[in-house]
Structure 1
Amino acid sequence: MIRIEMNRVAGDYGFEAKDANGHSLTTDTSPEGGGTNAGVRPMQMLLMALGGCSGIDVAMILKKKRQELTGFRMDISGEREAGREPSLWKTVHVIFDLQGHNLDQAKAEQACQLSMDKYCSVAETLRRAGAEITWEVRVTA
């Protein structure tokens, strides 16, 4: 069983989340929502989780394929449902920007596809909630 501890640390809505290993992050809401902007919004954190989950997958797959990454960046954007509560992610787009010496485009695309369609639990969680997830892969030397 996984356990996360949440403690209010800033204003009315600012919380610190801590895992069993002592890693922590702060969440909050916008000043318009009554918060103090002291941390990441929880829905943004879902997109960060998608990047973290998929990033680990892609790096692992490429390592197994003996593809050396010298740089790895992702740009993740999304649009939420308008006028609904709760307002879920409607669309999410991920740009994988991979750098490496002799990095093979086809292997990079396959690694990203495997992550997004097969291995990334966060992507599947978002999809089951109705999000349409698209992605593209850019490879540079």
Structure 2
Amino acid sequence: MTNESIRSVEIERTSAGQYDVRNVRGGVIPMGSGDDERFTPVELLLAALGGCSGIDVDLVASRKTEPSRFVIRVRGTKVKTEEGENRLENLEIEFDLTFPDGPEGDRARQVVPRVMRQSHDKLCTVTRTVETGTPVATFEREDAGK
């Protein structure tokens, strides 16, 4: 694995149940347990699913013309399995897109279904990772707590 292929974030506790998620470029997203306006980890996962495919669709369709409406809704049902495990089921990404009338808008509308399929089947790292079911390793830093 090269340094160019590694993706990472750092999560810092700011107070009880409140955290800041930072990327290597200096961006910060507030995260919490759902007791306030901060995004929960599940909401951030949903945002990642929609954002990944949304960016793919936007980059291609907006080359044809600027959309007059570009909204993505992502939802899933939180369930507890018989084994007591929490997870999301029925994940859906809904694109609510409108393009202007005319030839440019027609071209944009025409490419959207193809790009959505390509994003889902091949391009979107987030969707591909979720659907593949990639294992997640959890460990404590060796010198933690010292």
Shorter-chain TM band? 0.7 to 0.9
Identical residues among aligned pairs (%) = 24
Residue 106 in structure 1 maps to residue 105 in structure 2: no
**How far apart, in 2, do the equivalents of 1:85 and 1:29 lie?**
20
Q: Is the 8 A contact 1:88 1:129 kept in 2?
A: no
Q: Output the CA distance in 2 between the equivalents of 1:96 and 1:17.
A: 27
DSSP 3-state at the match of 1:98: strand
Do structure 1's residue 5 and structure 2's residue 37 form an aligned pair? Answer: no
The Cα of 1:37 is off from its aligned counterpart by 2.9
- Per the alignment, residue 94 of structure 2 pairs with 95
- How far apart in 2 are the matches of 1:46 and 1:108? 23
Give me the TM-score of the superposition, normalised by structure 1: 0.74
Residues 62 and 112 (structure 1 numbering): CA distance in 2 closer, same or farther, change over 3 Å?
same
Question: 2: distance between equivalents of 1:2 and 1:112?
Answer: 24
- Give the Å deviation of 1:82: 2.1
Work out the CA distance in 2 between the residues paired with 1:5 and 1:85.
29
Do the aligned residues in 2 keep the contact of 1:69 with 1:98 (CA within 8 Å)? yes
Q: TM-score when scaled to structure 2?
A: 0.72
Query: How many residues matched?
Result: 123
Q: Shift in Å at residue 117 of structure 1?
A: 1.9
| Root mean square deviation, CA, Å | 2.2
Would you say the 8 A contact 1:17–1:27 is kept in 2?
A: yes
The change in CA–CA distance for 1:86 and 1:128 in structure 2 (over 3 A counts) is: farther
User: 1:22 aligns to what SS in structure 2?
Assistant: coil
Q: Point out the structure with max Rg over C-alpha.
A: 2
